[in-house]
């Protein structure tokens, strides 16, 4: 039984209005003394031509209350509903037990494909903390949509094409060493890349050499493509190591180079539709009428650009996956780029342009300044993850040296801390990277949630009983327990909200709220020492909370160890 939906149906029937309209308006009162659900009557004042408090009073008289509603109360312009707590507890706890890891799932996305483009690091550049956001936000959005029944396609649109490869080939030809590249991998490629930029400031002709190498790549030059593929293979090996550590995977690694042989047809289509015009030797789509700068499609030297590849990729993905939505997770500074080429798709006559969604996130900077691979000013992802695991291992050694599987738990908690820290912030917020903050286990953090779940698992192990929901639910009507059950009841709603807003922090804040409510329940209510009837009922709450915390963390890409 969905309590909110049942109340909405009763109100809609009484007022003869659309049930979805009512459902969207129902609120959870800020204070438990004001009931469990509240319906605001402001929006009805205009159509009914009555004062909202009077509408609320009349509605209270005529609404046919569902059996689980104990009483209603008019408070100002709101009609507030008080549920029968034991019925509420029975419905929710029983549902969690019956559905287990499927609790909170829905079929709202059944039969719909969603393409999610995330992470997408540049080949031959190190995987640093600036890539963390796109990777973990994208991974969470993938898992959240999958939980709601969508068929998700995760795409790692690798930055494996472009003038930076011309620069890297130039740098390698001038200062590179094959043995050193094989031995040191990306760090050596990064060293010569940084060196190129230092030297190009003194000798700008290096930029021309780099451009000519990229044109050779586009023209299929064997030497250029051999070096490019070598750099790509070295990079992918290192990226995979980081992805495995983070527990992130993809369904497709089709990067920019995948679209090389598909762009000519798109350029021809733009010409046929008379969208492409010449401007100072380059080819553009004019967006002045849309109050945007022109979208550059072909450079003066004949090279393609990000927009050319993104438009081509979108058309390919629509044809291949017939997506309901194609979601792009990138930094906020790319908003204009996406607005421009989304508009080009619309001008091409494709009505699915509305299915393209850019999900921007705030920038990551270092306390010492902006991240820059050109300047070598980065914090490597592997260094961060290794440091997190190392710090966690030291804490375990100090506090629980006899813990089984210490190394595995240190990885789960340390890496979970890094992921959760990123996802607890609203995605649009800029982040100043701080080792201390990222690795803190104090306050509203991943380790705090994981530790609470481990505590719940410990209680269940000590109980030794087979915990069931065949219990006396009248025991579970105190305020602290009801608060926990209310939060359990809202899990699906929070997951749906996270999907609608493309905002994983809705889930991370939810699991923190549930953790805090459970810790109060644990503190205020004796469990193992209670009388048999109360013990069994409270153990059912403990098991239900552990189940939902585990599911909530999994949606964020964070594991839930049973012992810590």
d(CA 282, CA 277): 8
d(CA 444, CA 446): 7
Is residue 128 among the annotated active site residues? yes
Determine how β-strand 325-331 pairs with β-strand 113-117.
parallel
d(CA 186, CA 232): 10
d(CA 407, CA 484): 32
- State whether the Cα torsion 476-478-483-484 is positive or negative: negative
Given the residues 125, 347, 411, 494, the one annotated as active site: 125
| Alpha-helical regions (H) of 247-354 | 263-272, 306-321, 335-347
- Percent composition of the chain: helix, strand, coil (DSSP 3-state, to 5): 60, 10, 25
Given the residues 85, 90, 128, 232, the one annotated as active site: 128
Given the residues 4, 131, 167, 543, the one annotated as active site: 131
| DSSP of 161-220 | -SHHHHHHHHHHHHH--HHHHHHHTHHHHHHHHHHHHHHHHH-THHHHHHHHHHHHHHTT
Question: Do 192 and 168 contact (CB within 8 A), yes or no?
Answer: yes
Is residue 145 among the annotated active site residues? no
Residue 253 main-chain phi, psi, to 5 deg: -110, 25
DSSP label at residue 504: T
Cα atoms in the Cβ-side hemisphere of radius 13 Å centred on 400: 14
What are the angstrom distances between the C-alpha of 366 and each of 127, 195, 369, 435?
15, 22, 5, 10
Determine how β-strand 113-117 pairs with β-strand 151-155.
parallel
Residues 6+ apart with CB under 8 A from 268: none
293 membership: H or E segment, kind and range: none
DSSP label at residue 156: -
d(CA 359, CA 116): 10
Distance from the Cα of residue 296 to its chain's centroid: 31
Q: Residues 383, 387, 388, 389: what is their CA dihedral angle, to the nearest 10 degrees?
A: 110
Structure tokens at 2: 């969905």
Is residue 523 among the annotated active site residues? no
d(CA 131, CA 422): 11
Question: Do 507 and 140 contact (CB within 8 A), yes or no?
Answer: yes
374 membership: H or E segment, kind and range: none
Distance from the Cα of residue 213 to its chain's centroid: 38
Q: What is the CA radius of gyration of the chain?
A: 28
Return the closest-CA partner of residue 32 out of 73, 62, 3, 87. Answer: 73
Full strand arrangement of the beta sheet holding 364-366: 369-370, 364-366, 431-433
Structure tokens at 229: 């593929």
User: Catalytic residue positions?
Assistant: 125, 128, 131
């Amino acid at each position: 039984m969905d309590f909110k939906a049942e109340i909405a149906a009763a109100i809609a029937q009484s007022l003869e209005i659309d049930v979805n309209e009512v459902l969207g308006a129902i609120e959870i009162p800020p204070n438990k003394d004001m009931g469990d659900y509240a319906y605001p009557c402001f929006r009805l004042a205009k159509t009914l031509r009555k004062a909202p408090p009077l509408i609320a009073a009349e509605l209270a008289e005529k609404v046919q209350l569902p059996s689980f509603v104990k009483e209603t109360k008019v408070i100002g312009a709101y009609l507030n509903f008080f549920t029968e707590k034991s019925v509420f507890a029975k419905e929710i706890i029983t549902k969690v037990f019956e559905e287990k890891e499927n609790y909170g799932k829905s079929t709202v996305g059944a039969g719909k494909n969603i393409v999610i483009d995330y992470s997408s690091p540049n080949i031959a550049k190190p995987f640093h903390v600036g890539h963390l956001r796109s990777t973990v936000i994208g991974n969470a959005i993938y898992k959240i949509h999958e939980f709601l029944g969508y068929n998700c396609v995760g795409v790692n649109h690798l930055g494996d094409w472009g003038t930076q490869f011309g620069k890297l080939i130039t740098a390698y030809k001038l200062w590179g060493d094959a043995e050193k590249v094989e031995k040191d991998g990306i760090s050596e490629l990064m060293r010569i890349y940084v060196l190129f930029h230092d030297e190009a400031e003194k000798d700008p002709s290096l930029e021309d050499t780099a451009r000519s190498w990229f044109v050779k790549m586009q023209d299929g030059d064997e030497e250029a493509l051999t070096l490019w593929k070598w750099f790509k293979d070295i990079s992918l090996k290192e990226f995979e190591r980081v992805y495995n550590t983070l527990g992130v995977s993809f369904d497709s690694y089709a990067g920019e180079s995948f679209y090389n042989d598909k762009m000519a047809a798109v350029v021809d289509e733009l010409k046929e539709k008379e969208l492409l015009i010449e401007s100072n030797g380059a080819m553009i789509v004019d967006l002045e009428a849309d109050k945007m700068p022109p979208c550059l499609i072909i450079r003066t030297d004949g090279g393609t650009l990000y927009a050319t590849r993104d438009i081509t990729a979108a058309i390919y993905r629509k044809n291949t996956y017939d997506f309901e939505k194609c979601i792009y997770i990138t930094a906020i500074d790319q908003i204009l780029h996406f607005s421009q080429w989304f508009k080009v798709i619309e001008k091409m006559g494709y009505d699915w342009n509305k299915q393209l969604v850019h999900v921007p996130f705030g920038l990551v900077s270092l306390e010492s300044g902006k991240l820059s691979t050109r300047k070598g000013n980065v914090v490597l992802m592997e260094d961060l993850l290794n440091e997190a695991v190392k710090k966690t291992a030291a804490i375990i050694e100090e506090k629980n040296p006899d813990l089984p599987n210490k190394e595995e738990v240190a990885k789960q908690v340390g890496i979970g801390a890094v992921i959760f820290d990123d996802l607890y912030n609203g995605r649009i917020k800029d982040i100043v990277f701080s080792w201390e903050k990222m690795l803190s286990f104090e306050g509203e953090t991943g380790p705090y949630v994981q530790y609470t779940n481990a505590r719940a698992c410990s209680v269940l192990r000590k109980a030794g009983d087979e915990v069931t929901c065949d219990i006396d639910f009248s025991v579970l009507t105190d305020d602290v327990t009801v608060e926990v059950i209310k939060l359990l009841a809202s899990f699906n709603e929070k997951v749906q909200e996270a999907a609608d807003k493309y905002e994983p922090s809705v889930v991370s804040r939810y699991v923190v709220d549930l953790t805090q409510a459970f810790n109060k329940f644990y503190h205020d209510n004796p469990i193992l020492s209670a009388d048999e009837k109360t013990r069994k009922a409270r153990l059912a709450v403990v098991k239900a909370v552990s189940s939902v915390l585990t599911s909530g963390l999994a949606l964020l890409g964070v594991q839930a160890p049973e012992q810590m």
